[in-house]
Chains A and B, each alone.
Chain A
């Protein structure tokens, strides 16, 4: 069932992005999502940007996200979750090297992941790709938890000019990460997946899909591409986990955390 939360703080991240800080915590792993319901409006999935207090990052892209932007401190919204399977850490975390790759607004769950990873003793590198300077979000937040951050923008207004995959290729060569984690638009995830497969690197990618029931029943969020089929973003994912070359022959796309 849905549980009501109250908005206690609103942070403006850029002209079309706000973070909503809610009045309670949620038992959630980085990469998991919640269904957010505004009665009479709609219900949509949002990845958990922080667990204590529960924090959601909302980009105004449609009627529902604009309705969330219209909320004020003290207003209510309803949460179901945490849902789905989030990111997983490799065994023996201390000393492990993790590369987190964010495309645009994909920074939200990865910033939560970075905090947990550093707490567990890993060294974290972050590559953030965006179209332009104002869409590079949370880079200071990553630095605050002790991660090294690389920024690329398509127009060159911040960091290196180009797509994030350019930075990824270099960080992979220079720092030899043990695992790559990604969240962003699907073309970015596909490009990242290709890099990981070529390098034989284990990877975990958070997929975006249209979600309806969010319960693994209705089939609306099935992901069907060259790597996955019959894979439900809501209950099999949203994080797709590939353990790398060693387990590639196992063939099962199902991953249970």
Chain B
């Protein structure tokens, strides 16, 4: 039996599948449900300084090769979120599943305030969402767009939550994601989550209009996977911190690819649309089968495999 346990810094995950932020992470009950379904860790939906209702409908649609969404960072605000997270942390502790909080803000100073508020709930880690593509008009260019702004947010958050590890969530649509990863690690990031959704637009030709009320949104699902794999590979070669590889992972084989690109853990989100909440456990089971069939014993056997030259003899199904 392959060992699917996964060390993410000081966190021990029973599986490398992490519920991605923005999917089901709006209540303690839903976070617990994701954990029971098989997630090794769960990430709450991003919260900001103040409550936000989010964008009007339509906020999401399956356009054929993936999903596009612009939910609009709906959240109850950091104060109420801290209560929700405390409740979730207690429920998840019984299952041995770490809780990752997620925060966003409009300024560097606000990031620090939100981080401080959320830290009171003692999450196992805090994901710093500097890359949501759906609120550009209100929050300007995402902080993830430049090394300077990404590092500034990272340093500000790290300063106020020194004892909680932080994962900085990067955007795929940047000139050099490796350089941005290096900048946030130099500024104190303990981990990287890569990537957020890819900005896009879906137009209904009959209506002659964008489908999303926000007109533009973030692309996720299968269309995002090759983009995410390339980003993760580049980050893995640039920095030496754990990466939660996220983007289009829908099967155990996708998860294996993400780990081969250099990820330590694998974020899963849109797969819940294609396969239900059960996707989380199904991906773990499929990854287990994939490793077993090829004679791999641990996730370390495949981590970063695609970054190295091919081995003389490749293990295949039934070839182990």
Contacts and interface: CB of A to CB of B under 8 A. Distances in A.
A and B: partners?
Answer: yes
Contacts of B24: 216-217, 219
Interface stretch (B63-71, B128-136, B166-174, B237-245): B63-71
Among B59, B63, B69, residue most surrounded by chain A Cβ atoms (within 10 Å) = B59
A212 B74 CA distance: 11
Interface string B48-59: 000000101111
Interface in A205-257: 212-220, 222, 224, 229-230, 232, 235, 256
B67 to A, nearest CB: 7
Contacts of B26: 218-220, 222
Contact of B58 (A43, A219, A222): A43
B139 interface: no
Nearest to A253: B33
A235 B276 contact: yes
Given A1-B62, A42-B57, A230 B33 contact: yes
B272 A216 contact: yes
B61 A2 contact: yes
A80 B270 contact: no
Contact of B207 (A78, A217, A230): A78
Contacts of A213: 59-60, 69, 71
A39 B269 CA distance: 27
B138 interface: no
Contact of B29 (A1, A212, A214, A229): A229
B285 to A, nearest CB: 18
Nearest to B57: A43
B29 A222 contact: yes
Interface in A21-66: 35, 37, 39-40, 42-44
A243 B311 CA distance: 55
B181 to A, nearest CB: 27
A159 interface: no
B270 to A, nearest CB: 7
B71 A212 contact: yes
Nearest to A37: B58
A39 B45 CA distance: 28
Contacts of A2: 58, 61, 204, 207, 211
Interface string B7-36: 000000000000000111111011011000
A165 to B, nearest CB: 28
A235 B274 CA distance: 11
B112 interface: no
Given A40-B209, A42-B213, A43-B57, A219 B204 contact: no
A35 B30 CA distance: 23
B53 to A, nearest CB: 10
A4 interface: yes
A139 interface: no
A224 to B, nearest CB: 6
Nearest to A231: B29
Q: For the complex, would chain B's binding face be called helix, strand, loop or mixed by DSSP majority? A: loop
A3 B213 CA distance: 16
A132 interface: no
Q: For the complex, would chain A's binding face be called helix, strand, loop or mixed by DSSP majority? A: loop
A219 B30 contact: yes
A224 B29 contact: yes
Interface string A160-201: 000000000000000000000000000000000000000000
Contacts of B276: 216, 235, 256
Nearest to A254: B277
B206 interface: yes
Given A212-B59, A215-B62, A4 B71 contact: no
Contacts of A219: 24-27, 30, 45
Contacts of A214: 60
A219 B62 CA distance: 17
A151 B39 CA distance: 49
A39 B25 contact: no
A219 B56 CA distance: 15
Interface in B247-279: 269-270, 272-273, 276-277
Contacts of B272: 216-217
A130 B244 CA distance: 53
A222 B31 CA distance: 12
Given A39-B204, A212-B59, A230 B69 contact: no
Contacts of B204: 1-2, 39, 78
Contacts of B45: 219
A1 B61 contact: yes
B282 to A, nearest CB: 14
B60 A218 contact: yes
14 contacts: A4-B207, A80-B61, A212-B54, A212-B59, A212-B71, A216-B273, A217-B270, A218-B23, A220-B26, A222-B30, A230-B29, A230-B33, A232-B30, A235-B276
Nearest first, the 5 closest Cβ-Cβ pairs linking A and B are: A219-B26, A230-B29, A43-B57, A213-B60, A229-B29
Given A212-B59, A217-B23, 5 more contacts: A1-B211, A43-B213, A78-B206, A218-B74, A232-B30
Interface of A: 1-2, 4, 35, 37, 39-40, 42-44, 76, 78, 80, 212-220, 222, 224, 229-230, 232, 235, 256
